[in-house]
Each structure stands twice: as C-alpha cells, then as structure tokens.
Amino acid sequence: MLYILLKMKTTQAFCHSEMQIFPGPRYRTHMKQPLWIIILVSFIIVFLICAYMYPPQTSDACYIFSSRGCKVITDWLPPAPARELTDEEVASHVFIREILNSPIVSSKTPKLAFMFLTPGSLPFEKLWDKFFNGHEGKFTVYVHASKERPTHVSSHFLDRDIHSDQVVWGKITMVDAERRLLANALMDPDNHHFVLLSDSCVPLYGFDYIYKYLMHSNISFVDCFKDPGPHGNGRYSEHMLPEVEEKHFRKGAQWFTMKRQHAIIVLADNLYYSKFRNYCQPGLEGRNCIADEHYLPTFFNMIDPTGIANWSVTHVDWSERKWHPKSYRAEAITSELLQNITSIDVSVHVTSDKKKEVQRWPCLWNGLHRPCYLFARKFNPQALDKLLYLFSNYTTI
Ligand SMILES: *[C@@H]1O[C@H](CO)[C@@H](O)[C@H](O)[C@H]1NC(C)=O
Ligand SMILES: *[C@@H]1O[C@H](CO)[C@@H](O)[C@H](O)[C@H]1NC(C)=O
Ligand SMILES: *[C@@H]1O[C@H](CO)[C@@H](O)[C@H](O)[C@H]1NC(C)=O
Ligand SMILES: *[C@@H]1O[C@H](CO)[C@@H](O)[C@H](O)[C@H]1NC(C)=O
C-alpha cells in the first residue's frame, strides 16, 4: 500500500516536472524550475568539456577516482579523434589479439626454454650443468654463439647450438639473435616459457623454484619503464610515426622471460620491428638508440601492457652509475652477497634526466609479494669455482 502511494507520488512528480520542461506561454510565471534545469545542464556541459580536455591519464589519477571510477569516466568521454589505422596495423592488431586470447596447447611435460646469447663458450656451463642435473624432461637449452663455436663441457649443452649470426651491441642484430632463439625454441611445442640469458648470467635458485616461478606465472617478465631523459625518450625518432608515438616509447633491460603467446607475437611482428630496425640504431640522427633496450619494452607497452611484469628477473647492479654494470669478481662472491640479491622484493628504475627520479615497484607474482630475481649478472668467469662451491648451499630453499 505504502509502495503504491509512493509510486503514485513519484509518477505525479515526474509528470509535473515534464510539464515544466516544455513550458507553454501560459507557464511563464513558473520560471524557477526551468532555470534550475538550465543551470544543471550547463554544469554537465562544463564537466564534460573539462573531462574531455583533462582526461585522467596517469594511473595516479585512476587511483584517485578508484580504478573502477576511472573506467567509468573514460567510458563517458567521446572517443579521442582516432587516427585511421593502416592496413598493416589493422592486420597486426587482429593477429595479436587472436594469439593473446588463444590458450596454448597444454602438454604433458611443459618445459622451460633456456636461451643463451653468448659470443662463444659459456664460462658458467658447469654451474648450469649442476643446476639442470636431475630435471631432465623439464627444460630445453638453446645456444646462440655469435663469434666463435663454443666448446661444451656439459651433456645438457651438447648439440644445442643453433644457427647463429654476428651480433653488434646496440644494433638490431641483437634483436635478430633473440628472435632466432625464440624461433628455434618455439619449434618444440612443449616449451611454454622462454628465458633469455647471457654468458655472464648465473642462477640464484635451484631448478624447481625457478620452474614453478615462471611456469605458474600468467605474465611475461619484460623490463619496461618510462624514462623521459636522454637515454630514454631522448632516443625516440619521429620517423617511427605514425605507428609508434613518443608517449608509448619505453626502455628496459633486454634479459626477458616470456610466455609462449608472447614469444609467438614477437616472432610474428614485422610492422613495429621494422620501425626499430630502421630508426633505432646507435649514432642515427645524433641519437644513441639501442634497439634491444627499446623495441620489446615499447612493443609490449603498446600491445599488452598488463601482460608484462615491467621488471626483469635477471638482477644487475648499476649502482656504480658507470657505462657498464658492476661485474662481480671471485672475491666478492659470498653467501651474504647472494642472500642480499635474493632478498630484494622491490624493483627500482632510475630516469636519466636531471631529476634522476627513482621509480620503485613491489615485485608482485600473481598478486603476491615475492623476490624479484631468479638470475643475476654480471659475473666474472673466475667466479665459477666460488659459485660451484656455494651453489648447493644457496639453492637449498
Ligand atoms: C606494467 O605497467 C603498465 C603501465 O605501464 C601497467 O598497466 C601494468 O599493469 C604493469 N604490470 C603489472 C604486472 O603491474
Ligand atoms: C648485504 O646487505 C647489507 C644490508 O643492506 C649490507 O650491509 C651488506 O654490505 C651487504 N653485503 C654484500 C656482500 O653486499
Ligand atoms: C594474473 O593473475 C593475477 C592474480 O591471479 C590477476 O590479478 C591478473 O589479472 C592476471 N593477469 C593476466 C594477464 O592474466
Ligand atoms: C650457507 O648458508 C648459510 C645461510 O643460509 C650461511 O650462514 C653459511 O655460512 C653458508 N655456508 C657457506 C659455506 O658459505
């Protein structure tokens, strides 16, 4: 009964106000309500104009509105005046979306692909041999030696050299070598996650820990951050337009791990790859663009930003702020050093501009705080014996 009464009241009120919206000449005396509506409408228009001119762009703004609020507000906006995509871009977007949405064929023995990018023999092959022992069937090894044919001391590395080509630091040949490794590793349908390592990398954990960490992660560990300084966006070239805009340009260390879908996409990409091949080279147009530090971070930031972790699981120490990172000598290697590295659970990036802004993100693994690093570089070849001696101690977690 009460409900019906209420309903009648609201209906009446509604009819009443509707009449006020279209006032005939006879209602001139009732100007108060239309004025109220005009003010409200003006407010909405002003709000929409403001929202259009100052859309919440940073994730900080999204947090202020709460992530849901942010979405609602952006949905309200008229779509930004979109550039017409080229045929190649449309094809590429379709292709990428299909691959991202397709589940990988599950296999009875999913494997990790360890892809070594090295000039020649691997100084830490004996350590890796210890690392792999007893886990046969759960990994495959690929070696791309760009300068000289390596001699192998471990059975896990025998006949694992792939066809290789010259690699010039900073040039696209580095990316080509990464793609060659991915192509070879993708041929094995059991490879589900792909790890890129250098000759100076060592494992920080035993095999089982690393296997679980990577296999049960739903993202790829690709390093990616925005550096407005000379070693970041200062390397961007407008020749990359229209496909690659400066606002999408990112930087990151090349040592990635990647899930299978991402590996396929990297191999399939020609459009964005060719932009970096042509316009990201050391010395081009006075810029010192390093293809392997920008192509994959920028590419993933554009095509699947939430599918990457934004940090690399390979630790490196840049604290000396030199052109090359710190290289650990045998004397420096102690249980304490290794413990220090494995206890880090926040990733740090520093911009190269005058502000030297420090960006810190907690390392989240499937939403949980976990140590950031599974591997570390750079280790001096003389450090091998010390690492072999310590290995079983530091990997018994
Ligand atoms: C990586 O950064 C992008 C924005 O640059 C963000 O959208 C994404 O959520 C980040 N990834 C993770 C796992 O937090
Ligand atoms: C390990 O970390 C502690 C605390 O930050 C520091 O005092 C110590 O010097 C570090 N040791 C090594 C070998 O890096
Ligand atoms: C990965 O898993 C986390 C936690 O389960 C979830 O929040 C996130 O959306 C997932 N990311 C992707 C790319 O599936
Ligand atoms: C083994 O590791 C423990 C800490 O986990 C450390 O106290 C000990 O010194 C290490 N042993 C050697 C031989 O370094």
Q: 319: Cβ below 6 Å to ligand 2?
A: no
CB 373 within 8 A of CB 365: no
195: three-class secondary structure by DSSP:
strand
pTM of the model: 0.79
* Domain membership flag for residue 95: yes
Q: Is residue 310 lining ligand 1, measured as CB closer than 6 Å?
A: yes
Instruction: Establish whether residue 343 lines the binding site of ligand 2, counting it when its CB lies within 6 angstroms of any ligand atom.
Output: no
Domain presence at residue 105: yes
CB 106 near ligand 3, within 6 Å: no
What is the model's pLDDT at position 51? 52
For residue 250, the ligand 1 atom closest to its alpha carbon is 5
Residue-number span of the structural domain to which 121 is assigned: 87-314
- Does residue 91 lie in a domain region? yes
The span from the CA of 197 to the CA of 207, in Å, is 15
Phi, psi of 205 (to 5 degrees): -140, 170
Q: Is residue 157 part of a domain?
A: yes
Number of domains in the chain: 1
DSSP 132-180: HTT-TTSEEEEEEESSSPPP--SGGGTT-BPP-----TTSHHHHHHHHH
* CA 363/CA 341 separation, integer angstroms: 13
The pLDDT, as a whole number, for residue 39 is 67
Going from the first residue of the chain to its last (397 residues), give the mean pLDDT of each consecutive group of 10, the final group possibly shorter: 40 38 42 63 59 48 41 50 84 94 86 97 96 96 95 95 90 95 97 97 96 95 94 87 92 96 96 93 84 95 96 92 86 92 94 91 94 96 94 76
Nearest atom within ligand 3 for CA of residue 218? 1
In a domain, 204, yes or no: yes
**Is 319 a domain residue?**
no
In the prediction, which pLDDT does 322 show?
Answer: 78
Q: Is the CB of 155 under 6 A from ligand 2?
A: no
Q: How far is the CA of 377 from the centre of ligand 2 (A)?
A: 17
CATH number of the domain residue 233 falls in: 3.90.550
Which of 333, 334, 340, 393 for a ligand 4 pocket mutation test, highest count of atoms within 8 Å of Cβ?
Answer: 393
Q: Evaluate whether residue 39 is within a structural domain.
A: no
For the CA of 340, the closest atom of ligand 2 is 1
Instruction: Find all residues with CB under 8 Å of 262, minimum gap 6, and list them.
Output: 220, 222, 300, 304, 307, 308
Distances (CA, A) of 125 to 34, 129, 132, 200: 82, 6, 10, 10
Domain presence at residue 50: no
Can you give the pLDDT at residue 38? Answer: 66
Task: Please tell me if the CB atom of residue 305 comes closer than 6 angstroms to any atom of ligand 1.
Answer: yes
Helix ranges, the chain (H): 2-21, 32-53, 59-65, 67-76, 87-101, 125-132, 172-186, 207-215, 260-268, 271-279, 291-303, 335-342, 384-394
